[in-house]
Amino acid sequence: MADLDTFRAQTGAWLEANCPAEMRKPMRSEKDACWGGRKWEFQSSAQKQWLEVMAAKGWTVPDWPKNYGGGGLSAAEAKVLKEEMAALGARSPLTSFGISMLGPALLKYGREDQKKRFLNEIARGEIRWCQGYSEPGAGSDLAGLQTKAENKGDHYVVNGQKVWTSYADLADWIFCLVRTSTETKHGGISFLLFDMESPGVKTRPILLISGNSPFCETFFDDVKVPKDQVVGEVNKGWDVAKYLLGHEREMISGMGLGHGSLTLGGSVGEIDDPNLKAEIAAFDVDALAFAAMSERFLDQLKAGDAHPAFPSVMKYAGTELNKRRHELIMAAGGSDALEWDSERSHGGKAPRDWLRTKANSIEGGTSEIQLGIVAKHILRLPGA
């Protein structure tokens, strides 16, 4: 305990000395989050500086081992760091699918050379990843994917199409599920890593109902991929895919927490409608209770006590909550919240954010898929 107190004091002092003032302000737009990678343009010198000093300490990924670019912190120390950053209002120095999704999968299933190379690049913010999972014919039934990788001796040739590839147009590399065998559905999938600049890769952004295009269609036309870029065993990629999905769901469930420590009722301005106020208060009860479960889940995860299917509980609850939050923000905003591109509305932030949240309960496995997983793996209901 005394050691942890010392660590807290030192961490607090270090953050105070090293976190630029600008990085202590709340994020206002998506670009305020630093995603890193070859194509990243820093929004400010402070954003760049913050990434560099944190990466040098290994604190972009505080609980990864030091030799892979992490901070080597214990679960308790990582929690202290998070709390001290929150106390200062410090932004996360780096946000990436490498950190939240691929990294954990590589730590568990990657070869030593893959870990050394990719984890270090991820930790320093030098590589931005996208996720090649869904296909036009494989949505909820993900294992029905058809993108194939043909064995050509020392390399694979990949052909097919992915969809809902988040930020594929901005990514450097892709982690991609491909079919290497058609003998069995789940047993013919491999987990492949490759460069998005490889010849034969094309991306096309998809215009969404929010008017934004965070997702792409991604096409593969005879893409050559060296064989040593398979993660785990060939035809056993489904295990890697599922493990990664657990982390993706955990990440998405974080949306249930909203931003900062304010309650919804405390952040939407004056609520002049008593019925709306009651609905918002009911929401805040659910949101604060969800935050408690989220904290407990992370503690259980670090202690190795969490049920492997629990991310599905978190993902379902967190995303349904976030959708409700934005319904209520719209209701609180009244006709102000309907303006689509005026300056007053910050370019229609409220309605665009509201529409974006509708994907929360679809991406990473729909709410219905999550409920099915809970019914089968936790409740052990028959035939589920």
Partner 1 sequence: MMTLNDDQRMLQDTVRPLMADDGSIKAQLRHWRDKGCKDGFGHRLWKQFAELGLTGICIPEAAGGLGLGAVEAGVVLEEIGRNLTPSPFLTTAVAAVRALESSGQAERWFPGILTGDTVAALAIDEGRRHGPAGIACHAVRSGNGFALSGVKQFVVHGGSADVLLVAARTGGSAGETDGLTLFAVPRDATGMTVENLSLVDSSKAARLMLDKVEVDADAVVGEVDGGWAPLSRALGAGRAGAAAELVGVASGAAELTFDYLKQRKQFGRLIGEFQALQHRAAHLYGEIEIARAAALKAAQLLDAGDPKAELMVSVAKAKAGRVAALAVQEGVQMHGGIGMTDEHDIGLYMKREAVLGELFGGTTFHTARVAELSGY
Tell me the window of 141-149, 181-189, 282-290, 334-342 that interacts with partner 1 (CB under 8 A).
282-290
Q: Does residue 19 touch partner 1 according to CB under 8 A?
A: no
- Show Cβ contacts of residue 236 under 8 Å, excluding neighbours closer than 6 positions: 187, 190
The residue type found at 100 is S
∠ Cα 261 248 251 (to 5°): 5
Nearest to 127 by CA among 219, 36, 15, 262: 36
Which of residues 4, 13, 56, 379 is near partner 1 by CB under 8 A? 379
Token pair listed for 332: 């609180």
Distance (Å, whole) CA 10 – CA 194: 40
> What would the 3-class secondary structure string for 137-205 be?
CECCCHHHCCCEEEECCCEEEEEEEEEEEECHHHCCEEEEEEECCCCCCHHHEEEEEEECCCCCEEEEE
Q: Please say if 112 is a catalytic residue.
A: no
**Quick check: 368 binds partner 1 (CB under 8 A)?**
yes
151 lies in the binding site for partner 1 (CB under 8 A): no
**What backbone torsions phi and psi does residue 361 show, to the nearest 5 degrees?**
-90, 10
Asked if 374 interacts with partner 1 (CB under 8 A), we say yes
Q: How far is the CB of 317 from partner 1 (least distance, A)?
A: 5
Place of tokens 């105070």: 16
Per rule CB under 8 A, count of chain residues that contact partner 1: 41
> Residue 171 class from Cβ within 10 Å (0-12 exposed, 13-18 middle, 19+ buried)?
buried
Part in contact with partner 1 (CB under 8 A); list of ranges 17-25, 26-34, 204-212, 270-278: 270-278
Report d(CA 63, CA 277) in Å as an integer: 41
User: Which listed residue (121, 135, 250, 284) binds partner 1 by CB under 8 A?
Assistant: 284
Residue from 9, 13, 86, 281 touching partner 1 (CB under 8 A): that is 281
Whole-angstrom distance, CA of residue 306 vs CA of residue 192: 28
The active-site residue, picked from 248, 250, 279, 363, is 248
Instruction: State yes or no: residue 288 binds partner 1 (CB under 8 A).
Output: yes
Chain residues 291-350 in contact with partner 1, contact rule CB under 8 A: 292-293, 295-297, 299-300, 303, 305, 313, 316-317
Nearest-approach distance from CB 366 to partner 1, in angstroms: 11
Interface with partner 1 (CB under 8 A), residue from 55, 252, 271, 328: 271
Instruction: Determine, following the binding rule CB under 8 A, whether residue 153 of this chain makes contact with partner 1.
Output: no
Q: With binding defined as CB under 8 A, does residue 195 bind partner 1?
A: no
Q: Does 86 bind partner 1 (CB under 8 A)?
A: no
Measured between alpha carbons, how far is 340 from 114 in angstroms, rounded to an integer? 45
Q: Which tokens sit at 349?
A: 């932030």
Residues forming contacts to partner 1 in the complex (CB under 8 A) are 76, 263, 265-266, 271, 277-278, 280-282, 284-286, 288-290, 292-293, 295-297, 299-300, 303, 305, 313, 316-317, 368, 370-372, 374-375, 378-384
Give catalytic residues, as residue numbers. Answer: 248
